[in-house]
């Protein structure tokens, strides 16, 4: 008399693929998290190749920032959570595959794989919205899809888990996933958010000094790197280029000049630092002179194709020049950088500036197209090229290049230009920094 054959069990090969892809996803996410810290500290990473292939743009997007706010960790942290949980769920299935309840654990793997597929679709759509490609993110998507393929195609039984097993599988997701998430909240809480700037403002000089002495480690290292760069940088003669707009006193002992491009992500971050510096540093001690440097080959001498990247960069630069005589000039800059990822056309740029200043888009367009505005832009390009600028932001302090560090600039203000002030002596050794800019 024949007996029913026992149901197939998960093969070692299938489990091996699942475990390897889960661990690889977690490992790649850890790498991306480390690279994110470099970006948030003002450095440049290998995956930021150009404007389109630029992981920093994706990591600093509004969507990524919203997830960071919601979950208390960056998207890379969520990747670590997913990869850790994926590997643990597979390990549990491997341990239980000889028992009668192995199908419950197989269901948990499949449900987790389904969650991974949904996240890939969502993150890919967000990357498309940001108009950028993150190479390492593509690697993560590929690993998640490999995990999903193994879960649905290599594990025995129905493609989708049966209802009687699915509920138990979901329960195991919480048992495994919740601790993984809670563990990642610790480093997640210490990861700076996009646009985070050094909170140095104080009501007295004593408070400012105290804040400078107790900078968080990451900000202290950036401050140290900025100090080192400034010490080794030569000063250039730019006395022939007159100041057009300035915050603070012309006689301020500390003078910052900053060059930006309207589509540069690091410029948007440093714009927040400049806003804080304007509020934290006395106007008689610090002046801030903003200038523009659109990252185009011909310096906007020839018109670009309508609504191309060149067109947006050039119109964005010239709109700022055209707003220099307006009392809401700084608000124009803030609006442009705050809406950086929505600048899909030159009309969007003109509309934003029009809403802030009250000037009509037509009047702004006439100014943008004028020879006078082009001449002012040419002055900014001439100024920046004396420092061999290759990217933005370019930050100068008293004529010498430094990194975009609010801590270093304010430390110089508080110390009246003493680069050897006690709080600087207490800084850690500066990390090796790429000489490139963030673009």
At 199 the pLDDT is 47
Cα–Cα distance, 254 to 398 (Å, whole number): 6
Classify domain 12-189 by CATH number: 1.20.1440
Sequence ranges of the chain with CATH classification 1.20.1440: 12-189
Locate 396 and state its tokens: 């100068």
Cα(199)–Cα(126) distance, integer angstroms? 29
226 Cβ neighbours under 8 A, 6+ residues apart: 402, 403, 404, 405, 407, 408, 409
The residues, ordered by sequence, that sit 6+ positions from 434 with a Cβ below 8 Å of its Cβ are: 43, 44
Check residue 367 and give its pLDDT: 96
The CA distances from residue 386 to 114, 236, 378, 381, in Å, are 55, 7, 13, 9
Averaged pLDDT, groups of 10, the chain, 439 residues long: 59 94 95 83 70 80 86 92 94 90 90 93 87 90 95 89 79 88 86 57 59 74 91 90 93 95 91 85 91 94 87 96 94 92 92 92 95 96 91 93 91 90 83 56
- Please report the pLDDT score of residue 91 as a whole number: 94
What architecture does CATH give domain 205-425?
3-Layer(aba) Sandwich (3.40)
pTM: 0.62
Where do the CATH 3.40.30.10 domains begin and end in the chain? 205-425
């Amino acid at each position: 008399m024949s007996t029913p054959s026992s149901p197939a069990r998960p093969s070692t090969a299938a489990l091996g693929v699942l475990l390897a892809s889960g661990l690889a996803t977690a490992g790649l996410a850890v790498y991306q998290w480390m690279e994110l810290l470099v970006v948030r500290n003002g450095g440049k990473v290998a995956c930021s190749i150009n404007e389109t292939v630029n992981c920093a743009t994706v990591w600093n997007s509004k969507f990524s920032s919203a997830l960071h706010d919601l979950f208390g960790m960056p998207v890379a942290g969520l990747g670590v959570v997913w990869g850790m949980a994926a590997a643990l769920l597979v390990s549990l299935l491997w341990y239980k595959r000889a028992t009668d309840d192995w199908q419950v654990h197989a269901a948990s793997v499949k449900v987790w794989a389904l969650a991974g597929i949904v996240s890939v679709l969502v993150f890919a759509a967000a990357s498309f919205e940001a108009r950028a490609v993150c190479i390492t993110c593509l690697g993560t998507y590929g690993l998640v899809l490999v995990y999903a393929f193994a879960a649905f195609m290599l594990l025995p039984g129905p493609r989708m888990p049966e209802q009687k097993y699915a509920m138990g599988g979901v329960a195991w997701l919480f048992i495994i996933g919740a601790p993984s998430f809670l563990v990642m909240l610790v480093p997640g809480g210490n990861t700076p958010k996009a646009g985070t700037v050094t909170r140095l403002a104080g009501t007295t000089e004593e408070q400012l000094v105290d804040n400078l002495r107790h900078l968080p480690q990451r900000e202290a290292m950036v401050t140290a790197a900025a100090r080192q760069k400034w010490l080794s940088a030569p000063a250039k003669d730019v006395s022939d280029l007159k100041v057009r707009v300035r915050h603070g006193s012309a006689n301020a002992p500390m003078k910052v000049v900053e060059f930006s491009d309207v589509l540069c992500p690091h410029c948007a971050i440093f714009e927040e630092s400049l806003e804080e510096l304007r509020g934290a540093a006395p106007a008689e001690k610090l002046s801030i002179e903003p200038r523009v440097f659109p990252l185009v080959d011909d310096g906007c001498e020839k018109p670009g194709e309508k609504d191309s990247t060149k067109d947006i960069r050039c119109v964005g630069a010239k709109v700022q020049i055209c707003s220099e005589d307006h009392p809401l000039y700084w608000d124009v800059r803030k609006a442009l950088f705050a809406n950086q990822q929505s600048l899909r056309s030159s009309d969007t740029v003109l509309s934003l500036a029009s809403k802030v200043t009250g000037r009509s888009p037509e009047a702004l367009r006439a100014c943008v197209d004028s020879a006078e505005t082009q001449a002012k832009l040419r002055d900014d390009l001439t100024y920046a090229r004396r420092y061999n600028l290759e990217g933005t932001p370019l930050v100068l302090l008293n004529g010498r290049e430094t990194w975009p560090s609010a801590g270093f600039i304010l430390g110089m203000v508080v110390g009246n230009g003493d680069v050897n002030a006690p709080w600087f002596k207490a800084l850690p050794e500066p990390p090796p920094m790429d000489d490139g800019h963030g673009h």
